[in-house]
Amino acid sequence: MTLIHRPTLHPPLVANCVLTYAPFMTRLIRFNKPFDVLPQFTDRGTQGSPRRTLSNFIDVPSVYPAGRLDRDSEGLMLLTDDGKLQARISDPKHKMAKTYWVQIEGSPDQAALDALAKGVQLKDGLTRPAKARLIDEPAGLWPRTPPIRVRKSVPDAWIELTIREGRNRQVRRMTAAVGYPTLRLIRYRIGDWTLDGLKSGTWQDLPPPDRGPQR
């Protein structure tokens, strides 16, 4: 029998808290990116395109994303004005853990979860060992706009997947490779930072790490 875990978005310890920094101090921001938002401040696509970018939500000079999150994915992004910290977070050589909540089509068995954990053969090679477990729909999860398309004849499920690499659309390709297409993808954690207490489309200042992330 497979154990089901229910993740929870915990409320912030201090409501509406805004941290201030002394001049020249590293700035670190966490942002809960909504669906259909480009993970950059400008749209280099078609001129006059109505596509939303980070600039629709974040009006902070000189901060840049530490890593990407696809337009059709949601959840945690980190932004900073410190180039070394940006590299530490985003560079795959540091193998920083990233945890995703993934809604998939179908009901995965233990064999599929084991395959995700051991490594999946993709076109660009075998994925590194990961952590995969079946979970209930995360408590307090915001609705996606627009909602996912579901087929009444096919069940869906949620899994929590933690990886330490960042290939292009890796999570979606991994779930598809074991027979369960991704319907909705939310990044919950990067290193020690999470989405807890952060509403979709909002951002918050964070204290920069003294020694860097530990996970």
In the prediction, which pLDDT does 152 show? 82
Question: CATH number for the domain including 173?
Answer: 3.30.70.1560
Which class for 108: exposed (0-12), middle (13-18), buried (19 or more C-beta within 10 A)?
buried
Distance between CA atoms of residues 127 and 131, nearest Å: 12
pTM assigned to the model: 0.85
- Which residue type occupies 26? T
Out of 36, 43, 59, 70, the active site residue is 70
Please report whether residue 5 resides in a domain. no
Contact 167, 158 (CB under 8 A): no
The partner residues of 193 in beta bridges, in order of sequence, read: 190
Ordered mean pLDDT values, 10 residues apiece, the chain (215 residues): 57 46 74 97 76 95 94 97 93 89 97 98 96 96 92 92 94 98 98 96 91 48
Instruction: Give me the pLDDT at residue 14, please.
Output: 40
Is 14 a domain residue?
A: no
Query: In what helix (H) or strand (E) does residue 29 lie, and over which residues does it extend?
Result: strand 28-33
- Residue 87 and residue 109 in one domain: no
Asked if residues 28 and 212 have their Cβ atoms less than 8 Å apart, the reply is no
Number of independent structural domains in the chain: 2
Is residue 42 located within the same domain as residue 104?
Answer: no
Is position 70 annotated as part of the catalytic site? yes
Same domain, 85 and 113: no
User: How far apart are the C-alpha atoms of 182 and 171, rounded to whole Å?
Assistant: 8
Range of the domain at 61: 25-94+192-215
Gap between the Cα atoms of 55 and 95, Å rounded: 29
pLDDT of residue 10: 57
